[in-house]
Amino acid sequence: MKGKVKNILCMAAVLALLGWTVHTIFQEQTPGQLAAALLGADWRVLLLGVPLMVLFICCEAGATHAVLRALGCPQPFRRCAYYSSVGFFFSTITPSATGGQPAQVLAMSKDGTPAASGALDMLLVTIGYNTAAMIWGVFALFTAGGLTERLGGQIGLLLGLGLAVFGLLDVAMFLFLFLPGPARKLLYGCIALGAKVYPPLDRAGLEAKADEHLREYRRGADLIRRAPALLVQVVGLSTLQLACSYAMPYVVYRAFGLSGFGLGQIMALQALCSIAVGYLPLPGSAGAAENVFLRGFLLIYGEALVAPAMILSRTLSCYLVLIVTGAVLAVGRVVRRPTVAQAQAKHEPESKTGPSSLERAS
């Protein structure tokens, strides 16, 4: 029941934000003017966005390919690309991208990858992604220059909260990864404080879940000690992955024949806008991302082109990719049918040490 209420509230918020976006767009220009601007873009330049988004998916696939190989349960790169497509699709349609990683772990398990290994892969990929986002955020603050002042107070507040959330998550993940003792004390302290504030809280259950998550982080730390270059590789691929996404507004900028702002400036501004809405519990940041784009890129495109630019940028970087990955998911479910024998053979190496908590739960 709570899940249904949450989904209803989430969809209501998305629809309200999208409605406000449409209202804002048509306050400034008529549908005819908007259509004329869209048709005026150079579609040959816009096509450059297609390989960028393919590379976006392949970067995560490369990270998963490297992690699974280091874990001793390698998968072909094409299957890793399928897992990335699954993750992108479900992350986009679920609040706070919560559906992407479980769907990826499930897809891996169907190919014989133990659930514990799939979960560890997702953990390291998440650490790489958050670290890359913080790297881009710091870079953007020093590169965007006076453009950050144009974001306005409301977006500035969202940006500050976004940087704080990403920063705290990154610090927490590295703390859990390399300092499990202090991390356990911190978690137990937070749970104890929560139990005092809200006595009905299931303290024992939360402590058990904390220990389970810490065991996964401990496995991640052991893997990094065995392959120290792995984390650097994952962070590097995540940085390149975000670069592909942040470059999309520049592709649209050049498609309109505009000049004056450089690639670095526009990528920095997009990085800040993405961080400002990345933590919001909305599917694909829908509604919020569009509104932030309209405000943040007004100086770049001008009043006449900022709305068409937003439509083209979001279409290339989100909605078109959502359609393509959805098609990949649909086709993949039909053509990818690993045999039971293959799955059992891949499970055998890890079954000798006993199933993990995640495997038992699955």
pLDDT digits (tens, 9 = 90+) for 197-215: 888 888 888 889 888 888 8
Q: Is the pLDDT of residue 351 over 50?
A: no
**What would the pLDDT profile of 24-62 be if each residue is shown by its tens digit?**
555 566 677 778 888 889 999 999 999 999 999 999 999
Mean pLDDT of 328-335: 81
Grade residue 341 by pLDDT with cuts at 50, 70 and 90. Answer: very low
Residue 362: per-residue pLDDT: 36
Instruction: Report how far apart, in Å, the C-alpha atoms of 356 and of each of 79, 86, 287 are.
Output: 24, 24, 40
With bands split at pLDDT 50, 70 and 90, how would you rate the model's confidence at 354?
very low
What is the predicted pLDDT for the residue at 270? 92
- Return the SS3 of 179: coil
Whether residue 105 is predicted with pLDDT greater than 80 in this model: the reply is yes
Tell me how far the alpha carbon of residue 231 is from its chain's centroid: 18
Q: What pLDDT does residue 360 have?
A: 35
Instruction: Spell out the alpha helix ranges (H) of the chain.
Output: 2-28, 31-40, 43-46, 49-70, 77-93, 100-110, 115-143, 152-178, 180-197, 203-226, 229-246, 248-255, 263-278, 288-296, 298-301, 306-314, 320-335, 340-351, 357-361
Spatial distance between the Cα atoms of 7 and 94, rounded to a whole number of angstroms:
9
Q: At what angle do helices 288-296 and 263-278 cross, to 10 degrees?
A: 140
pLDDT confidence bin for 153, thresholds 50/70/90? low
Over residues 123-140, mean pLDDT = 92
Which range is least confidently modeled, 98-102, 123-127, 161-165, 256-260? 98-102
Q: Which of 98-102, 140-144, 175-179, 356-360 has the highest mean pLDDT?
A: 175-179
The chain-wide mean pLDDT, for the chain, equals 81
State the pLDDT at residue 283. 58
Query: Which pLDDT score is estimated for 52?
Result: 93
Question: What is the pLDDT at residue 74?
Answer: 92
Report whether pLDDT(352) > 50: no
Distance CA 314, CA 192 (A): 43
Higher pLDDT, 32 or 131: 131
pTM of the predicted protein model: 0.81
**313 touches 249 (CB < 8 A):** yes
pLDDT value of position 238:
96
Kindly indicate the confidence band of residue 131, based on its pLDDT and cuts at 50, 70 and 90: very high
Contact 175, 190 (CB under 8 A): no
- Alpha-carbon Rg of the chain, whole angstroms? 22
pLDDT score for 69: 94
Whether pLDDT at 100 is above 60: yes
Please give the pLDDT value at position 6: 55
What b-and-e string marks burial along 195-226, b requiring 16 or more CB atoms within 10 Å of the CB? beeeeeeeeeebbeebeeebebbebbbebbee
pLDDT value for 243: 95
Token pair for 310? 């937003």
pLDDT digits (tens, 9 = 90+) for 214-257: 888 888 999 999 998 999 999 999 999 999 999 999 999 999 99
Count of CB atoms situated within 10 Å of the CB of 190: 12
Q: Please state the rounded mean pLDDT for residues 347-360.
A: 42
Q: For residue 21, give both structure tokens.
A: 């976006």
Give the pLDDT of residue 233. Answer: 96
What mean pLDDT comes out for the span 307-323?
86
Q: What DSSP string describes 74-107?
A: ---HHHHHHHHHHHHHHHHHSGGGTTHHHHHHHH
Q: How far is CA 247 from CA 31, 170, 352, in A?
A: 27, 24, 47
Give the C-alpha separation, 316 to 164, whole Å.
Answer: 28
